[in-house]
Structure 1
């Protein structure tokens, strides 16, 4: 239906939408609140999804615009984990909360891939996939907007005891008409702890999108697995990743025999170094050892998913109410990664041979070892000084101190 250049443009449009949606997101959330912006971004994405089949047969440039609109949902999804966790999770349960929320990435893949395959082969054809996804998204957004509130105390279903548990130990940035907190961008950019989070996140995003975008191609073209086995092999890691995160999340909250910082560093090292080790195994394992290669392929996805209870939890603890700002920066990194990976793969593995993919695996493994080590030396879990800026009102300061 489309030329290779058009396919490339449609693919890149999602990343462009993520970038465009991420840049103003912090300002928009501060002005219009997270609940409203999440719903707005989601509605744009749902409408774009519903209109995609029509645009595909009508106008290519309109289709590109719709794909950019779909990318907005990716931007808000990064911020949503930090914003929702800060508003609704007790500090001592943040590991489980983040791991549970992050399962949406794997669940979406596990739902979409088999459903899309069935619908594409049915009499309804490929447009039905977009109609189903767009309709379901709209329904879920309605449910979200009806029940969700930006603060637990705004929801009538939450008791005072629950509110106290959620807010215990948190720095609350309460904004009123006389005093608003400005985002301390300069202080944040000078903090090595922030750069540690961003660098570790970039390594995780590179390894994640490498297999999201090229996992089936690697299994089919390089390992010579048939299409049916490729689909199953590409789906298994997501289910195991969910199980690993739901196990690691509560453990990261409840193992108190070691300090919070040590737990964060251990989990981040398991995630970063574990993924890198699997990539090294994929480089040196003979391609005819399908079982071992599949195990390494699966384990890399499982290890990578643990970043949510390591690096991202550390970000939540140190950044408090400003964690969503750093997550919006991670969304920008994500858009850049999605744009760069196709170029990276086409340069290093133009023929999809095992030797070429070996170079890719070693390069990414080296990068992940580097950023994982850097994060280990810069990781922080106590609220950073810039979380309590001078712009906070006296009332806010008193409430922050009393919460401690």
Structure 2
């Protein structure tokens, strides 16, 4: 059955209205959102801190404009960076996180399905937070120890998306999935909005180590709140209202996707066209997202020639906009489904297409802008990142549409493949970006990958529960 076929607010015999914004399921969405806020803050702070950590020698403007004067890499107190890593070494360090991140995707979904998403999600972020706190010591001790710490941070954070998807299979009524999932995962982008400028300020005023101490401590604080307030299922929650529990369970029973998984149909996953549609779109979306997430501060400083603090603040602007697009998109997607303007399949394809095609167009346009057109560059980059938020109501929630019981494992599979751009993207940037014209090649590659993801999802995507699910 199509996920849009049931009403979100079916009257109850008791006459009591199902709570929405004061509900337990929305509290879960908010706390999950803050979890991703913390996780992404710890993930992306190195992108800004790296600019302060490395002692670049002054060189000609990369964009080739004789009218542009390049910035030297100093902090607000004019202190040069401590480390002499070249661009290749920096790319390896920035990408190291994803070598760990890719390993725990599928195990994270499996463990969350067996033991519940609450402990898996919480402990994953705690692991990342603890190793964030020791990052300055590791970086100063040895480059390879620093890389190892980043890999371990990735191992911890790799379980987060699969674990959260596993929780939503028990907590999200089908017609509210877009809303709840987008609220939850939008925290990742809000964390990026916060992390980029705050990291720049911390580097300028307190030195780059303060970035890791601040975000690591925040992650530990969030872990305590999460473990005290969240429960794996509505049945386990001691404070959920009767009417909300009955509403959630009734909607899931009506969909026919309740119950435990006796076995995981791995071969069926491998031969399912809708699963492949999700995987390929996830890969395509993440290629552009990770390329900019990791290298945008460097692009702002070395190509557009902003100083460190400006680069941090301006790099955050696109992620503030994507946060808004994700929230609005989730509300609009479920509005279209609930009122039967479009089927779930049509909604997923429309949003997914917009979230891949539009970013590719604006990214290519960015490649033709130099440092004398800084405002235009920011506009193009902002639209490129922000429009990608439409995908959150496309492939990113689609696992719950086609196979709710296996959503955690399916998210682990798709995010595992989609993590490859996390280290491949920065590597491509490190190899190609010796001047602005080579950044154009990076952006064209991204647009081509987005086009591939669009076509495959339009052909193979589906929004209905699969027969094997």
TM-score normalized with structure 1 length: 0.86
- Give the structure 1 partner of residue 325 of structure 2: 244
The equivalent residue for 1:401 is: none
Match of 1:139 in 2: 221
Residue pair 1:241, 1:303 contacting (<8 A) in 2 also? yes
Q: SS of 2:160's equivalent?
A: helix
Check if 1:159 corresponds to 2:241: yes
Q: Which moved more, 1:293-302 or 1:110-119?
A: 110-119
Aligned-residue CA RMSD in angstroms?
Answer: 2.3
Matched, 1:378 2:460: yes
Alignment counterpart, residue 150 of structure 1, candidates 225, 232, 252: 232
Could you say if the C-alpha distance between residues 247 and 80 of structure 1 is closer, same or farther in structure 2, counting changes exceeding 3 Å?
Answer: same
Match of residue 33 from structure 1? 116
Preserved CA contact (<8 Å) 1:221 1:352: no
SS in 1 for 2:419: helix
Contact 2:296-2:315 within 8 A present in 1 as well: yes
Equivalents in 1 of 2:255, 2:158: separation in Å?
Answer: 25
Equivalence map 1:175-214=2 (5 Å)? 175=260, 181-214=262-295
Aligned equivalents of 2:440, 2:205: Cα separation in 1:
38
Q: Decide whether aligned partners of structure 1 residues 327 and 220 sit closer, same or farther in structure 2, where only a CA change above 3 A counts.
A: same
Matches within 5 A, 1:4-403: 4=86, 7-123=90-206, 125-167=207-249, 168=251, 169-175=254-260, 181-255=262-336, 256=339, 257-284=341-368, 288-347=372-431, 349-353=432-436, 355-387=437-469
Q: 1:61 to 1:279 in 2, by over 3 A?
A: closer
Is the contact between residue 74 and residue 331 of structure 1 (CA under 8 Å) also seen in structure 2?
A: no
Q: How many angstroms does 1:43 deviate by?
A: 2.4
Q: Deviations over 1:298-330 (max 9, x none)?
A: 001111112111111222211212121121123
- Whether contact under 8 Å (1:96, 1:249) holds in the other structure is yes
Q: Shift of the alpha carbon at 1:359?
A: 2.0
Gaps of 5+ in 2: 1-81
* 8 Å CA contact retained: 1:264, 1:311: yes
Q: When you count helix as a share of all residues, which structure comes out higher? A: 1
Residues 105 and 413 in structure 2, CA contact (< 8 A), matched pair in contact too: yes
- TM-aligned CA deviation for residue 199 of structure 1: 0.6
Q: How many residues align?
A: 380
Deviation string 1:221-255 (CA, Å, 9 cap, x unpaired) is 33344544433321111111111121111111112
Structure 1 residue runs of 5 or longer lacking an equivalent are 388-404
Deviation (angstroms), 1:338: 1.6
Q: TM-score, normalised by structure 2?
A: 0.75
SS at match of 1:246: helix
